[in-house]
């Protein structure tokens, strides 16, 4: 039997206002409208909170969580709301804790290569603050200009630079967390290695707000490589383009990113940014490759070697990847959103040598379900994105059913190849049923035991990732 929650009463609202201030707790229907969804456009998933609070400190977050436990009211933590898996939608209504006021870079230590940030800091603002000091914050999701660090941590966001630097999880030293019971705990440490007990900061990162609310993070910085180049290798055969990453990695070039766009994605993005992209009308597909170095001679050697590899792989042309190429790649989601608000994005991840198996079969699965879309991928780490367009204007329920049927087929293929259904978007509410279907029971049992132990009242982002009884 699933948990039953209490409604948010006037008494609860008054107590919330005492914690955060009258101005920072709202039940105004017009303001609640914003929080019915994240980036999800299908109204079948929309759900309104009963109250939204805007805490200014870790202590205020903790007091709100304690109050929610006292009255048995569910909590949905939220940063910028740029997620794609319904992870920030308050499916049980209750309280949304919006972290946008906690938006300070508290410390930027260039000498010791770390920074301390609050969850409401925009990713691009952290990147730019680091760059101003000659440093690099390596977390780089495509939504960097709108997403926030708290959401990046909650979902273990990936992005373009993950090939070289890893995902958000690999940028963490320590986290300050408000637990589901309202305790304030610091996990991790500013150490280069540690084998001291459970690695809790790594567990919390990627838990999608189900195990606590991150209110502060100490993150790693790196020296900014002074030399770099970006090229786009254009192919007329997707199989040749998808074979290139393994050749690059085996050659020891150590790219920062390797991105792929199929022709449908190139055309959609080109139309959106109003740009005549190379080979868009000739069925071209792109491998976009970035290489960075601290030494100019090394960079020149890698550029020459990479050019040879592209030629050997069958590229029809190799060009410098200027701003229009990267804009096309990063604007693909917005381009799909302009075509239809109920577009859907998926992000399977498979071993590198299995990417071709997925991309070869994808057109057949899409044709089976009569859906249209384009493929982009972080092919240096096996993460494939398919943005699917509701071109037949199906209604909310019919469209959700179409996507579920498509997911059943594609996930069956992905898991048969040793892959998983998400490389960086997370499970949230939208993929929960599929996650439970395709995940071995032993894993699910451990996750449920952990969730129950940490969150006995099941108030912390309930019905996300897994359901517990």
pLDDT in tens, 110-150: 999 999 999 999 999 999 999 999 999 999 998 889 999 99
pLDDT digit string, tens, across residues 419-462: 999 999 999 999 999 999 999 999 999 999 999 999 999 999 99
Flag whether pLDDT at 240 surpasses 70: yes
pLDDT tens for 357-376 read 999 899 999 999 999 999 99
Quick one: pLDDT at residue 1?
Answer: 38
Residue pair 354/418 in contact by the 8 Å Cβ criterion: yes
The stretch 171-175 carries a mean pLDDT of 98
Greatest extent of the chain over all pairs of C-alpha atoms, in Å: 70
Distance of CA 387 to the CA centre of its chain: 14
pLDDT tens digits, 268-318 = 999 999 999 999 999 999 999 999 999 999 999 999 999 999 999 999 999
Sorted by sequence, the CB contacts under 8 Å of residue 237 that are 6+ apart come out as 285, 314
Q: How far apart are the C-alpha atoms of 349 and 31, rounded to whole Å?
A: 37
Q: What is the pLDDT of residues 337-358, one digit of tens each?
A: 999 999 999 899 999 999 999 9
pLDDT in tens, 378-387: 999 999 999 9
Q: What is the pTM of this model?
A: 0.95
Q: How far is CA 198 from CA 57, 220, 284, in A?
A: 27, 20, 48
Q: Is 207 left (phi over 0), alpha (psi -120 to 50) or beta?
A: alpha
The yes-or-no verdict on residue 3 having pLDDT over 90 is no
Q: Which of 150, 143, 148 is nearest to 177 (CA)?
A: 150
Mean pLDDT of 328-339: 94
Would you say residue 2 has pLDDT above 70?
no
Which of the 8 DSSP states describes residue 140?
B
Tell me what the mean pLDDT of segment 228-254 comes to.
94
196 phi and psi angles, rounded to 5 deg: -125, 90
pLDDT-based confidence at residue 5 (cuts at 50, 70, 90): very high
Q: The tokens of 33 are what?
A: 């409208």
All structural domains of the chain: 103-221 (3.30.465.10), 225-415 (3.40.462.40)
pLDDT score for 469: 79
Per-residue model confidence (pLDDT) at position 159: 86
pLDDT digits (tens, 9 = 90+) for 175-201: 999 999 999 999 999 999 999 999 999
């Amino acid at each position: 039997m699933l948990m039953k929650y209490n409604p948010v009463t006037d008494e609860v609202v008054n107590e919330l206002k005492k914690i955060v201030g009258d101005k920072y707790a709202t039940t105004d229907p017009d303001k609640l409208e914003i929080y019915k969804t994240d980036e999800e456009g299908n109204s079948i998933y929309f759900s309104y909170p009963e109250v939204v609070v805007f805490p200014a400190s870790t202590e205020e977050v903790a007091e709100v969580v304690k109050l929610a436990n006292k009255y048995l009211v569910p909590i949905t933590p939220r940063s910028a709301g740029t997620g794609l898996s319904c992870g920030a939608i308050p499916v049980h209504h209750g309280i949304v804790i919006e972290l946008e006021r906690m938006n300070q870079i508290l410390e930027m230590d260039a000498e010791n290569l770390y920074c301390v940030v609050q969850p409401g800091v925009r990713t691009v603002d952290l990147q730019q603050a680091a760059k101003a000091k000659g440093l690099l914050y390596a977390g780089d999701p495509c939504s960097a200009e709108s997403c926030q660090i708290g959401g990046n941590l909650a979902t273990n966001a990936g992005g373009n630079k993950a090939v070289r630097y890893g995902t958000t999880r690999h940028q963490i030293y320590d986290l300050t967390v408000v637990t589901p019971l309202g305790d304030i705990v610091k996990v991790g440490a500013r150490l280069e290695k540690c084998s001291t007990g459970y690695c809790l900061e790594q567990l919390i990162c990627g838990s999608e707000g189900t195990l606590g609310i991150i209110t502060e993070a100490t993150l790693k910085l790196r020296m900014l490589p002074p030399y770099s180049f970006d090229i786009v290798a254009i192919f007329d055969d997707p199989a040749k383009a998808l074979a290139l990453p393994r050749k690059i990695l085996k050659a020891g070039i150590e790219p920062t990113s390797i991105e792929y766009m199929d022709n449908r994605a190139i055309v959609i993005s080109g139309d959106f940014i109003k740009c005549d992209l190379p080979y868009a009308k000739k069925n071209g597909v792109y491998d976009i490759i970035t290489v960075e170095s601290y030494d100019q001679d090394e960079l020149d050697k890698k550029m020459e070697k990479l050019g040879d590899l592209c030629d050997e792989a069958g590229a029809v042309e190799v060009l410098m990847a200027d701003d229009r190429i990267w804009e096309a790649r990063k604007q693909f989601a917005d381009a799909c959103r302009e075509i239809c608000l109920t577009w859907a994005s998926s992000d399977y991840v498979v071993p590198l040598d299995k990417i071709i198996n997925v991309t070869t079969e994808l057109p057949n699965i899409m044709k089976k379900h009569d859906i249209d879309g384009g493929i982009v991928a972080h092919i240096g780490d096996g993460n494939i994105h398919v943005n699917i367009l509701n071109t037949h204007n199906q209604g909310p329920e019919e469209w959700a059913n179409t996507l579920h049927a498509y997911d059943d087929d594609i996930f069956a293929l992905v898991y048969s190849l040793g892959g998983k259904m998400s490389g960086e978007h997370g499970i949230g509410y939208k993929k929960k049923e599929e996650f439970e279907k395709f995940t071995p029971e032993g894993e699910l049992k451990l996750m449920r035991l952990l969730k129950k132990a940490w969150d006995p009242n099941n108030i912390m982002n309930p019905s996300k990732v897994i359901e517990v009884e």
